[in-house]
Amino acid sequence: MIKIWSMKKNEDAAARRKPKTSAAQIRVQKDLTELDLPPTMKTHFPDPTDLLNFTLTITPDEGMYMGGAFVFSFAINNNYPHEPPKVKCTHTIYHPNVDLEGNVCLNILREDWKPVLNLNSVMVGLQYLFLEPNADDPLNKEAAEELRKNREQFLYNVKSAMRGGVIKGTHYDKVAVQ
Amino acid sequence: MNGSSSSSGDWHDRYYHVDQILDRPGPRTDPSFLAGDEVKDFLRNKCKILVIGAGGLGCEILANLALSGFKDIHVIDMDTIDISNLNRQFLFRQKDVGQPKAIVAAEFIMNRVPGVKVTPYYGKIQDKDDDYYLQFNLVICGLDSVEARRWINATLVNLVDPENPESLKPLIDGGTEGFKGQARVILPTVSSCYECSLDMLNKPTAFPICTIANTPRLPEHCIEWASVLEWPKVHGDKKLDTDDPEHIGWLYSMALARAKEFKIEGVTWSLTQGVVKNIIPAIASTNAIIAASCCNEAFKIATSSAAYLNNYFMLIGTDAVYSYTFEHERRAECPVCGGESLDITISKEWTVDRLIEMLVEKQDIQIKKPSLASGAKHIYFQAPPQLEEATRPNLEKKVSDLIPDGGEITVTASSLPFSLSLRINYS
Ligand SMILES: [Zn+2]
């Protein structure tokens, strides 16, 4: 056998075995404990000992969605950060980039995910969707159509949906906070 | 086997060609190389090697090792043989379908190559503990799963004990994807590890969700639509089982209908299975090249007969046969082999708060806002607010009530490249 041991740099004698925590777990600990969120975003852990499953509530303080509280579920698997977290909106909301099942059209959650991105980038990306809804990447086509054609009507629909209204036969969840 | 003579089943000149390399040193031979009987004795009677995976790469690796003189080979695989494996996993026959790969492969090699002992384990690598991995001189991986590779890589890095040179197990990792492949030598804690290069990996292809929802152009878009959007809509919380033919059948019919609607051709059963299981067609010749490269490295490392690969060999066979070898560098911020680890001795009376204060003040580390955990137990988290509040009562507690003597704490902080591992001893 080759003598590898002699190649081992004489590191600090204190350098020792590392704990048996999975790389995904340590990475999630790092991501979460370094989260720097504005007051408009809050995380909630139903089981505080489980870092891999939690929700994020976004309460925009400007833009068309101001006055609403939008809840997203995060599910992280053991292949993080090789794979992105799975994020879904838990409410039925009226938004061009979120469909009625809660799927979100955010590039960094799918095709543009990279391991150098972190949970903070995802959360900031989600909040941006409420400041700048994008009619070009529609998941709710009717909402996107409306945003493109008639901004006034779109804004009216957003407000009414947030109060739990019905738009074109679809019942939206009440997400308005007073 | 005509002409087999000795009890071990050796036949005349069995190792004639291999011995050309082992009987005399060459221009690039390591100075520690002991030509002749000694190195042959090690390779053939003492060296114990573990092969992880008995699939496309694994079958090739097992055959190569057995024929180059390794005689004590162990193999782990958790899968059973599927009929679709038979075109390239040449240790298996039609009659073996449904049997465990590890067991059938081991039997095949032992029948075919006399004197070689192959010990199979049908199960997961995670079933085995440190003592199991400690018995080997070398580990070769021929896996198709990123998750399994990350696990074995972290396990072998964690195994390294500064007081025991035998604890450092070279890991040779092979991987293929279609016409591309790579072979690499990982010397845990010495050279770049698998986790160090995680961001170099091709990530699974994902299509923009709005394309899938609105403007499908490819058959893959229709299949993704069925699995990502339609399955949860129709089946709610029921999990999609990509091994269940009924589930695949449902996706296939949904995708086919959508493809028809958008006038897209090419949705087939096997493409559906391929897309949802993220299968890239396996090419037998790529497997053969990568397995050969891995076994070549295993032979060189076990015998010191020639310089081994430093440390990454890449094969790109898509346009022609191109290969490139380079040294992948270790990453200081690697969560597995990077970061620092530190032994500290504190009083049994110290509170968590006192320990944190020490970490912040300590000249040589100077950590800003450290968060501490021990395994799955959270000791103190700086954020998010809910977890900070939940762990705040621990600040008053004695460290010795939370962590046993010699126990470890994982520290993360924005000022640390990745994490710091603390081993706590009490004075
Ligand atoms: Zn590493």
What architecture is the B209-277 domain classified under in CATH?
Orthogonal Bundle (1.10)
A6 domain residue, yes or no: no
Distance, CA of B56 to CA of B86 (rounded, Å): 10
Residue B71 CA from chain centroid, whole number:
23
Domain of residue A53: give its range: 20-171
pLDDT on residue B6: 42
Find out whether B154 and B195 touch, Cβ atoms under 8 Å: yes
Report the alpha-carbon distance of residue B302 to residue B40 in Å, rounded: 10
Q: What mean pLDDT is predicted for residues B90-110?
A: 97
Query: Model pTM greater than 0.80?
Result: yes
Tokens of B173: 């990792």
Say what the pLDDT of residue A12 is.
47
Tell me the pLDDT band of B127, cut-offs 50, 70 and 90. very high
The whole-angstrom separation of Cα A173 and Cα A161 is: 7
Helices A119-131 and A23-33, packing angle to 10 deg: 50
Homologous superfamily assigned to B342-426: Ubiquitin-like 2 activating enzyme e1b. Chain:  B, domain 3 (3.10.290.20)
Backbone angles phi, psi at B217, to 5 degrees: -125, -20
Burial of B334 (C-beta count, 10 Å sphere; 0-12/13-18/19+): buried
The separation between the first and the last C-alpha atoms of chain A, rounded to the nearest angstrom, is: 72
Quote the number of domains for chain A.
1
The pLDDT score that the predictor gives to residue A16 is: 47
* β-bridge pairing A41-44 and A166-167: unpaired
CA distance B201 to chain A (A): 9
Asked if residue A102 is part of any domain, the answer here is: yes
Of B418 and B79, more confident: B79
Task: State the Cα–Cα distance between residues A86 and B245, nearest whole angstrom.
Answer: 25
> CA–CA separation, B204 vs A86, rounded Å?
14
**pLDDT more than 70, % of chain B:** 97
Question: What pLDDT was estimated at residue B12?
Answer: 84
Chain A hits for B412, Cβ within 8 Å = 26, 29-30, 33-34
Residue A138 is nearest to which of B168, B214, B301, comparing CB atoms?
B214
Q: What average pLDDT does range B299-306 have in this prediction?
A: 94
Say if residues A44 and A54 touch (Cβ distance below 8 Å): yes
Most confident segment among A17-26, B49-58, B316-325: B49-58
d(CA B188, CA A19): 15
pLDDT digit string, tens, across residues B2-35: 433 344 567 888 999 999 999 999 888 888 888 9
Residue B367's pLDDT is 84
Residue B361 confidence class, pLDDT cut points 50, 70, 90: confident
Contacts of B339 in chain A (CB under 8 A): 18
The distance of A35 to chain B (nearest Cα, Å) reads 7
pLDDT digits (tens, 9 = 90+) for A111-146: 999 888 999 999 999 999 999 999 988 999 999 999
Q: Which numeric CATH code is attached to B15-201+282-326?
A: 3.40.50.720
Instruction: Write the pLDDT tens digit of every residue in B138-196.
Output: 999 999 888 899 999 999 998 988 888 899 999 999 999 999 999 999 999 999 999 99
* Residue B294 banded pLDDT, cuts 50, 70, 90: very high
Mean pLDDT of chain B: 91
Structural contact between residues A54 and A71, judged by C-beta atoms closer than 8 angstroms? no
Residues of chain B with CATH 1.10.10.520: 209-277
Domain with CATH 3.40.50.720 in chain B: 15-201+282-326
Dist. CA B103–CA B122, nearest whole Å: 7
Map residue A123 onto helix, strand or coil. helix
Q: Give whole-number Cα distances, A131 to A52, A84, A124, in Å.
A: 27, 23, 11
| List B47, B59, B210, B337, catalytic entry | B210
The verdict on residue A27 lying in a domain is yes
Pairing of strands B48-52, A70-75: unpaired
In a domain, A13, yes or no: no
Q: Within chain A, which residues score under 70 in pLDDT?
A: 8-20, 178
Answer yes or no: B210 catalytic. yes
Which CATH number fits the domain that encloses residue A146? 3.10.110.10
Q: What is the mean pLDDT of residues B302-316?
A: 94
Decide if pLDDT at B237 tops 70.
Answer: yes
The residue of chain B with its CA nearest to that of A10 is B162
Average pLDDT over residues B222-243: 91
pLDDT value, residue B43: 95
Count of A-B CB contacts under 8 Å: 175
Residues of A in contact with B383 (CB under 8 A): 32-36
At residue B1 the predicted structure's pLDDT band, cuts being 50, 70 and 90, is very low
The rounded percent of chain B whose pLDDT value lies above 90 is: 71
Chain B: give the shortest CA distance to residue A47, in Å. Answer: 10
Q: Report whether B76 contacts B121 (CB < 8 A).
A: yes
pLDDT of residue A109: 95
